[in-house]
């Protein structure tokens, strides 16, 4: 009742416009890749996001906690037990040591039960387990005498055991022993503890430990993968972002437990949730499997500063080569007979900015980018390469983008919107909402300046707007205010991407940092994610020109005689009437609305009242809402 009354009240103050027209005869195709996402390999997108791995610091990176000798996120079990981190014979490794091995990346956890007879071991809290669900575990160990290692899932206090397994370990000659088994808890516990214990007078060295749900998809959570698919991504850019400047692809050829943690080189922000280390849980093979599962085209970003042209060419060969090439053969031997056919490649990320390693000037970057590009194109001539830089920038457009246009016709643009975010008074809420929503204008102007800058060079180039979002959206809860901004941005990309010659657009970033909220055992779409799920309904259709659409409030696409229309009312307090000079049957009308626009808010989906009479379709949207109409044309 309250909502119905509210809608009626708002209608009294509605913004009313003359009938808009939708020109079906002008319908044109648009690039599917404007529905792209930037999937940063590290941060919350993988760790605590896509990755099904439940154990923190499972490869024992960093320094020991306090004076106990125990790796971060683990706790010691037992009295007068000697713990230490040892990097002299660690299990993890890098495939290339040049510029890669830094202190604290490669260690093993050593536990010495000096006296024997008492319980010694290692544990970790804060594991969310579910009753009856199977979990796959793995241990990589060495021992100096025969011993029994007991692995238990318990409550935090340790006085209730949910599941346990015993491993009989024997000494080997400096060889690591891998054991795999499953545990099925007898209870739900959002703060369970895993314990690895033994009682013998012995030394236990642990190279790596692993625990994840048995129903994972290539080491990724099935529920998160399903939510990513629900967004309708048509392109995924990986491994970065900034992390691309720290990544070495060949480490991914190692078994997942052997891949050494990688410490942040120049910017800790790329690994803020994992103590400055990435554990390389997902490699190229896994990423390609993810792309195929969700229906996205892969776009890989090379490490232009650290990787040589030859190494980047070998990555192309691994992805696209046949059995007659060295790395194509390696891919086939790893179980992937068909080439990955990766066509889109970024020549580094945000090159020229202070936070990325490599040349800072346009000339220097163009030189290094060309050397990498030429080597890559020798392997596969039909790659679609994208150059990087601080754009829009006329100097870089002339000295870098134009110089590289013959081999890299795509040019990267990144932009993040700022705005007020105060929510404690009605005045603050309104100001913050209007500030966020209005930031569309700056994104539009920035893309137009980029287009003008590239056009001045006289070379044919395309914009790859491959990072966009609200600034620092990855560090805070989302809300309907940001959802309306996201909807407006998607309307802008749909409406103007052809005119701006901007066929690639990537949101930063969907998993755990904007579009998909990931909890320990569940995940769901945020208000931003809800808008991607709505706007994906335009995919596969042809774009129609809409009159009186300067504020990007309306997008219409046609497919098989059905018109799909999305509407946005960006007003904070006023409802808005939409009228279309259109004859057709309304097959579906959905409204996405919320009374609340502050953090933690979501859109509520309901039926929208829309009428079709006298060759006109009409409806009214409440403030800060989005609608989806499907009209069968007569």
> What is the pTM assigned to this prediction?
0.95
Nearest to 566 by CA among 615, 469, 495: 495
Instruction: State what percent of residues in the chain have pLDDT above 90.
Output: 84
pLDDT at 41 over 80: yes
| CATH superfamily for domain 2-29+543-633 | Golgi alpha-mannosidase II (2.60.40.1180)
In sequence order, the β-bridge partners of residue 83 are 111
CA–CA gap between residue 359 and residue 381 (Å, rounded): 26
pLDDT at 496 over 90: yes
Higher pLDDT, 2 or 159: 159
* pLDDT tens figures, 181-193: 999 999 999 999 9
Tokens matching residue 270: 């790329």
* pLDDT tens figures, 133-159: 999 999 999 999 999 999 999 999 999
Lowest-pLDDT range of 41-55, 266-280, 357-371, 455-469? 266-280
The answer to whether 328 touches 322, Cβ cutoff 8 Å, is: yes
* pLDDT tens figures, 251-288: 999 999 999 998 887 666 788 888 889 999 999 999 99
DSSP 316-382: HHHHH--TTSHHHHHHHHTT--S-----EEESSSSTTSTTS-S--SHHHHHHHHHHHHHHHHHH-TT
CA–CA gap between residue 86 and residue 68 (Å, rounded): 14
Note the pLDDT of residue 337.
97
pLDDT at 13 over 50: no
The reply to whether domains 2-29+543-633 and 64-213 share a CATH topology is no
CA–CA gap between residue 303 and residue 239 (Å, rounded): 10
Higher pLDDT, 630 or 65: 630
* pLDDT tens figures, 432-488: 999 999 999 999 999 999 999 999 999 999 999 999 999 988 888 999 999 999 999
Calculate mean pLDDT across residues 329-343: 98
Angle between helices 222-230 and 527-535 (to 10 degrees): 50
pLDDT at 495 over 70: yes
* pLDDT tens figures, 187-223: 999 999 999 999 999 999 999 999 999 999 999 999 9
Residue tagged 């502050």 (tokens) = 598
Note the pLDDT of residue 274.
86
CA–CA gap between residue 197 and residue 390 (Å, rounded): 53
The answer to whether 237 touches 346, Cβ cutoff 8 Å, is: yes
pLDDT band at 89 (very low <50, low <70, confident <90, very high): confident
Note the pLDDT of residue 12.
39
Q: Taking the domain 32-52+216-540, which CATH number applies?
A: 3.20.20.80
Long-range pairs of 11-17 with CB within 8 A, sequence gap ≥ 24: 11/575, 11/620, 13/573, 13/574, 13/575, 14/574, 14/575, 14/576, 14/577, 14/620, 15/571, 15/574, 15/575, 15/576, 15/577, 16/576, 16/577, 17/548, 17/576, 17/577, 17/578, 17/579
Domain 64-213 has CATH 3.40.1390.30: no
pLDDT at 5 over 50: no
Domain ranges of the chain: 2-29+543-633, 32-52+216-540, 64-213
pLDDT at 416 over 80: yes
CA atoms within 13 A on the CB side of 382: 5
pLDDT band at 88 (very low <50, low <70, confident <90, very high): confident
**Residue-averaged pLDDT of the chain:** 94
């Amino acid at each position: 009742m309250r909502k119905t009354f509210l809608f009626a009240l708002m209608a009294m103050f509605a913004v009313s416009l003359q009938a808009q027209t939708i020109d079906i005869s002008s319908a044109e195709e648009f690039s599917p890749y404007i529905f792209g996402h930037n999937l940063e390999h590290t941060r919350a997108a993988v760790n605590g996001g896509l990755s099904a791995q439940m154990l923190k610091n499972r490869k024992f990176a960093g320094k020991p906690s306090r004076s106990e000798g125990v790796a971060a996120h683990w706790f010691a079990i037992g009295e007068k037990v000697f713990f230490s981190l040892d990097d002299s014979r660690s299990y993890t490794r890098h495939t290339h040591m040049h510029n890669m091995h830094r202190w604290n990346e490669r260690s093993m956890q050593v536990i010495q039960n000096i006296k024997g007879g008492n319980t010694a071991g290692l544990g970790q809290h804060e594991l969310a387990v579910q009753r009856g669900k199977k979990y796959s575990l793995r241990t990589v160990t060495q021992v100096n005498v025969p011993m029994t290692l007991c692995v238990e899932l318990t409550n935090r206090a340790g006085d209730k055991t949910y599941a346990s397994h015993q491993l009989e370990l024997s000494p080997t000659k400096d060889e690591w022993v891998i054991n795999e088994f499953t545990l099925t808890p007898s209870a739900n516990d959002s703060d369970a503890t895993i314990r690895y214990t033994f009682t013998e007078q012995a030394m236990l060295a642990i190279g790596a430990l692993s625990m994840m749900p048995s129903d994972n998809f290539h080491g990724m959570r099935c529920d998160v993968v399903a939510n990513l698919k629900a967004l309708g991504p048509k392109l995924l850019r990986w491994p970065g972002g900034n992390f691309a400047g720290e990544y070495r692809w060949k480490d991914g050829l190692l078994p997942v437990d052997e891949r050494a943690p990688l410490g942040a080189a120049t910017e800790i922000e790329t690994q803020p949730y994992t103590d400055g280390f990435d554990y390389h849980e997902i490699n190229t093979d896994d990423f390609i499997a993810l792309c195929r599962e969700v229906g996205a085209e892969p776009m890989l970003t090379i490490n232009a500063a650290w990787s040589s042209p030859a190494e980047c060419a070998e990555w192309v060969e691994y992805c696209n080569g046949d059995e007659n090439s060295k790395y194509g053969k390696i891919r086939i031997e790893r179980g992937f007979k068909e080439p990955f056919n990766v066509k889109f490649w970024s020549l580094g990320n945000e090159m020229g900015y202070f936070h990325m390693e490599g040349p800072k000037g346009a000339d220097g970057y163009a030189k290094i980018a060309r050397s990498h590009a030429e080597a890559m194109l020798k392997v596969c001539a039909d790659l679609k390469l994208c150059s990087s830089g601080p754009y829009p920038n006329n100097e870089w457009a002339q000295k870098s983008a134009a110089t590289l246009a013959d081999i890299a016709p795509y040019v990267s643009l990144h932009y993040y919107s700022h705005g007020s975010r105060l929510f404690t008074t009605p005045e603050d809420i309104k100001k913050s909402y209007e500030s966020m929503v209005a930031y569309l204008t700056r994104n539009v102007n920035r893309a137009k300046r980029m287009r003008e800058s590239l056009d001045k060079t006289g070379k044919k180039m395309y914009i790859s707007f491959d990072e966009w979002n609200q600034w620092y959206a990855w560090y805070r809860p989302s809300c309907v205010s940001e959802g309306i901004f996201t909807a407006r941005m998607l309307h802008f990309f749909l409406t103007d991407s052809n005119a701006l010659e901007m066929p690639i657009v990537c949101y930063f970033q969907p998993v755990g940092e904007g579009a998909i909220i990931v909890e320990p055992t569940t995940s769901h779409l945020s208000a931003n994610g809800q808008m991607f799920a709505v706007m994906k309904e335009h995919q596969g259709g042809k774009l129609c020109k809409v009159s009186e659409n300067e504020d990007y409030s309306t997008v219409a696409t046609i497919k098989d005689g059905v018109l799909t229309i999305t509407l946005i009312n960006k007003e904070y307090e006023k409802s808005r009437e939409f009228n279309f000079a259109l004859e057709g049957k309304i097959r579906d009308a959905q409204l996405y609305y919320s009374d609340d626009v502050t953090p933690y808010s979501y859109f509520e989906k309901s039926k929208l009242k829309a009428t079709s009479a006298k060759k006109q379709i009409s409806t009214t949207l409440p403030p800060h809402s989005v609608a989806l109409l499907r009209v069968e044309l007569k």
